[in-house]
Amino acid sequence: MEWKIRGTPGRAAFERAEESLEELAELAVSAGAEVVDRVLQSRAVPEAATLIGQGKVQEIAAAVRSGSVGTVVFDHDLTPTQQRNLEKAIGSKVIDRTQLILDIFASRARTREGRLQVELAQLNYLLPRLTGRGVELSRLGGGIGTRGPGETQLETDRRRIARRIKKIEEDLESVRAGRALHRRRRSSVPLATLALTGYTNAGKSTLFNRLTRAGVLADARMFATLDPTVRPLILPSRRRVLVSDTVGFIRNLPTTLVKAFRATLEEVKEAALILHVVDVSSPAAAEHARHVSQVLAEIGAAEISQLVVLNKIDRLSGESGHLDSLRGRLLANARPGTHAVAVSGLTGAGMDCLLAAIDDVLPSDPLITTTLRVPAADGATLALLHEFGRVMETRYDEDWCEVKAEIPQSLARRLQSRG
């Protein structure tokens, strides 16, 4: 069961509230719940104690008692006090949108980094919600010398959680350091990184698999994949680049999650090009694109060049007017010079145009034919030539190796500068 509260809306605000509530239902299903009812309530001012009025609280309590409802989900952040008051009055578990998203993330994270990031977000969410529970556990009255065992347990829990948060933050700092090291190593060769971003369920993983044949899980559920994956891609110009599939964004993405996934989102900040994937079959495609742009701005990636990828054109049934209109709205709000390409990650339609557009947008790094003389024992340089170029001829002369190869110009400059 979901309940939503918003201030008294106009027509546009009401439609946005309906879309958000529908999204909440999708989140609940993704978490494994069955949605039995939903209600949209308009209030001029939220109730401080319960968010909603007493009459509505009683209505919800009656609905919970009459049906098999185990959890009530609010599409609105609840304060710890509101959550406790609502649970008491309704007689059922009460959670908010943030808690639901955290639950989904906890079930989907697979790598150690992903699990650490989710746990950090959960602990930061839980810490302020411990307040007041000591009073419930205490058997003694207030006053000096009368603090009960419950309050002592509360302080113990707080300290334990604070210690765990500190330990996770230290572990994630080492993850950030490791990622920075990998990025520096990647930057030592001409290997640009493309970051796939977009609203959750926009088809990023399907498109990623189509581009790189990576075999990443592609699921219709929201937040089906959390852990970033990086794979190589050969462009039509025969340049080699890396493609990174990142976590999907969503409206009202909890701040705790943005902070916790900082290490992952830094991959987006360091990208040479962002592929902003938009589900053109969604009625709220433009709104979703706006939310993604907001998150990109929050993490400091707003100035990176973007290529808008209009995905899922296979679902449009030849509605070119809708596609052209959406393309115009998206590009009107984008940086000057931004282009849009229509594709279907599922069928492969438009992929040649997408690859050509990536080639055009990325800084030019032409292939040249050159001959290099390197020490025969310099296995690292020889490996670079084979990995990022096409070795045409190899000759050995005592301790030296002469290699004729077709390689990117930037790599040739870098190798020649070594002497």
Q: Is residue 46 part of a domain?
A: yes
Do 230 and 323 lie in one domain? The reply is yes
Closest by CA position to 188, among listed 346, 405, 418: 418
Do 279 and 299 lie in one domain? The reply is yes
Report yes or no: 344 and 207 within 8 Å, Cβ to Cβ: no
Do 99 and 127 lie in one domain? The reply is no
Domain ends where: 76, 104, 132?
Answer: 104
Task: Please state the rounded mean pLDDT for residues 269-282.
Answer: 88
Q: Is residue 181 part of a domain?
A: no
Give this prediction's pTM.
0.69
Q: Who wins on pLDDT, 132 or 254?
A: 254
Distance CA 24, CA 97 (A): 7
pLDDT at residue 357, rounded to an integer: 93
Do 222 and 134 lie in one domain? The reply is no
Do 315 and 407 lie in one domain? The reply is no
Q: Is the pLDDT of residue 136 over 60?
A: no
Poorest-confidence range of 25-29, 64-68, 128-132?
A: 128-132
The band of 139, judged by pLDDT with boundaries at 50, 70 and 90, is very low
Do 344 and 383 lie in one domain? The reply is no
Kindly report the CATH number assigned to the domain that includes residue 31. Answer: 3.40.50.11060
Q: Is residue 180 part of a domain?
A: no
Domain ends where: 73, 104, 135?
Answer: 104
Domain ends where: 70, 104, 138?
Answer: 104
Do 320 and 400 lie in one domain? The reply is no
Q: Is residue 183 part of a domain?
A: no
Tens digit of pLDDT for each residue in 199-248?
888 888 889 989 988 665 555 455 555 556 788 888 888 788 888 887 77
Q: Is residue 398 part of a domain?
A: yes
Kindly report the CATH number assigned to the domain that includes residue 348. Answer: 3.40.50.300
Distance CA 129, CA 123 (A): 10
Do 205 and 354 lie in one domain? The reply is yes
Q: Is residue 248 part of a domain?
A: yes
Do 250 and 327 lie in one domain? The reply is yes
The band of 190, judged by pLDDT with boundaries at 50, 70 and 90, is low
Report yes or no: 387 and 373 within 8 Å, Cβ to Cβ: no
The CB density around residue 16, as the number of other CB atoms within 10 Å, is: 16
pLDDT at residue 133, rounded to an integer: 47
How many domains does the chain contain in total? Answer: 4
Do 355 and 409 lie in one domain? The reply is no
Do 213 and 246 lie in one domain? The reply is yes
Q: Who wins on pLDDT, 266 or 333?
A: 333
Distance CA 256, CA 263 (A): 13
Do 234 and 265 lie in one domain? The reply is yes
The band of 355, judged by pLDDT with boundaries at 50, 70 and 90, is very high
Q: Is the pLDDT of residue 344 over 90?
A: yes
Report yes or no: 93 and 72 within 8 Å, Cβ to Cβ: yes
- State the Cα torsion 186-227-331-237 to the nearest 10°: 40
Q: Is the pLDDT of residue 351 over 90?
A: yes
Task: Please state the rounded mean pLDDT for residues 65-74.
Answer: 84
Tens digit of pLDDT for each residue in 394-411?
999 888 999 999 887 767
**Secondary structure of residue 301 in the 3-state scheme:** coil
Q: Go through the chain and tell me how many residues it has.
A: 419
Q: Is residue 411 part of a domain?
A: yes
Tens digit of pLDDT for each residue in 11-40?
677 777 788 888 888 888 888 888 888 877
pLDDT at residue 340, rounded to an integer: 93
Q: Is residue 16 part of a domain?
A: yes
The band of 145, judged by pLDDT with boundaries at 50, 70 and 90, is very low
Distance CA 401, CA 378 (A): 9
Q: Who wins on pLDDT, 111 or 234?
A: 234
214 half-sphere exposure, CB direction, 13 A CA radius:
22
- Write the single-letter amino acid at 99: Q
The band of 70, judged by pLDDT with boundaries at 50, 70 and 90, is confident
Q: What range defines the domain where residue 372 resides?
A: 367-417
